[in-house]
Amino acid sequence: MAFLVAGTLQVASLLADARQSLERKGKYSLQGPRVALTLSTPEVSASTVAVLEAVFRTLGFECCQRTEASVQGFLGELAGFRSQLDGLGGPVGCALVALLAPRGQLGQPQQLVRELSRCRALWGRPKVFLLLSSAPGGALERGAFLTGLSRLCGRCRHWSLLQLLTEVFYRTTEESEATYCPVFRSSLRGTLCLGDVEPWEPKLEPSPRAQYDLSGTRAALLLSVIRSRPGAKHDVEALGSLCQALNFKITLRTNPTAQAFQEEMVQFRECLDALSAPVSCALVALMAHGGPQGQLLGADGQEVQPEALVQELNRCRALWGCPKIFLLQACRGGHRDAGVGPTALSWFRRWLRASPTTPSHADVLEIYTDAQGSASRGPTAGSSDQADILMVYAAAEGCVAYRDEKGSDFIQTLAEVLRADPGGDLLELLTEVNRRVCELDVLGPDCPERRKACLEIRSSLRRPLCLQA
């Protein structure tokens, strides 16, 4: 009996820690030590590491470790770091991992992200990854990104980290003569403010750069496969009503084939370029079944790559320097996430009014940037024509996107949140959408056990984006 009581109390403690990690208004509390780890290859200069460590200290990280290793040794070093954190005996407030290597050597860092996500001490806590690269064979030196980050993090401590990164992205493209734009990927569930200042209190420092000017034409393209997708009509209705309320001119196409996805995007781009009035924003919603590698499946079952559709809109001259929003309601693989965290008895779970698990992909922020601000190719960071893009995926990479007869959790929650606060910063609103989606327990049609879902938000926005003044 004593063992049962002790176990129940331990579960209660862990659940309370998880609930407290997101305080009022969805802000991470960061209770516990902040720890930072820098993993760098031998090419990295001492000056770059010194700048990083100064930034870490400014942001309140008490423990800053540095290890020099080959890229192949990063995973082992990170596994040791995870074990070290789990050995602390209590929750960690926040972890920041900087990965520094010549461009192209890191490849796909998701294995490193997953390794740290296994850390019990970081369950429900933010995990930040900074992936900093340079030209192959070149030394990593301080560039526009690190310079801007070090300048802002000390005097703009009331900003959320997403606000701060958006401003740094602008300065990076300006100082590098518009040859490069960083990008971040976020599954955060709340506002992350590392400066120990409430971001909603009166601001004593300058506000972020003026937001995007949305006084011109706003255009929305909704492409949805409804056939054999129960609830898809409700998503179309909710999104169409939301776009109308936000003054978007809407083009709707249902049941497009794979070829029609591409053709509709081309026609959408050409129509925008042909407008005599200025265009200020474009929103594209892609709703369909998804393939095992994140492809979209047209009504004919054929595949189309969403990246090709993004690139097509990037060619639009009328949208240069304007925000381009992509909403993707589709599966990105077949994995069903059971979540991470302790398991409680059902009555105990109901008593606490909290789900005992969070999605295993949640609470992660990955920042991809280049040390010298030179052009880079790839899906994570690129040249300036990749700037001003916001992509929101209904599922994490490799995971199922859930939907039922009432519609999808992503689209329905998005409409609910934006209708309640249409004038809020869109990145912060999307973070709130993710928080609500992550709290849900979903039951798929072919899965008898409840599973978790988590959004992925990718942004290269360079200004705050508010859809209503």
Q: Could you tell me the two tokens for 216? A: 């011109």
Q: How many CB atoms lie within 10 A of CB 291?
A: 18
Does the annotation mark 289 as catalytic? yes
Q: Distances in Å between the alpha carbon of 436 and those of 91, 153, 362, 417, 425?
A: 23, 29, 12, 9, 17
Name the token pair of 253. Answer: 């196409």
Q: What does R_g of the chain's alpha carbons equal in angstroms?
A: 22
Return phi, psi of residue 427, to 5°: -65, -40
State the Cα torsion 174-175-180-182 to the nearest 10°: -90
**CA-CA distances (angstroms) from residue 153 to 95, 97, 202, 364?**
17, 17, 18, 19
Tell how strand 407-408 and strand 403-404 pair up: antiparallel
Closest among 425, 319, 29, 410 to 193, alpha carbons compared:
29
Say if CB 401 and CB 451 are below 8 A apart: no
Closest CA to 467 of 419, 435, 413: 419
Answer yes or no: 243 catalytic: no
Q: How far is CA 81 from CA 37, 63, 85, 88, in A?
A: 8, 12, 6, 11
Tokens representing residue 272 in the block? 């925008």
Q: Are 407 and 299 in contact (CB under 8 A)?
A: no
Where does 305-356 have alpha helices with state H? 306-314, 346-352
Q: Hunting for tokens 């300048």 — which residue is that?
A: 151
Element (H, E) at 460: none
Of 156, 234, 281, 289, which residue is the catalytic one? 289
Q: Of 153, 243, 281, 331, which is the active-site residue?
A: 331
Residues annotated as part of the active site: 289, 331
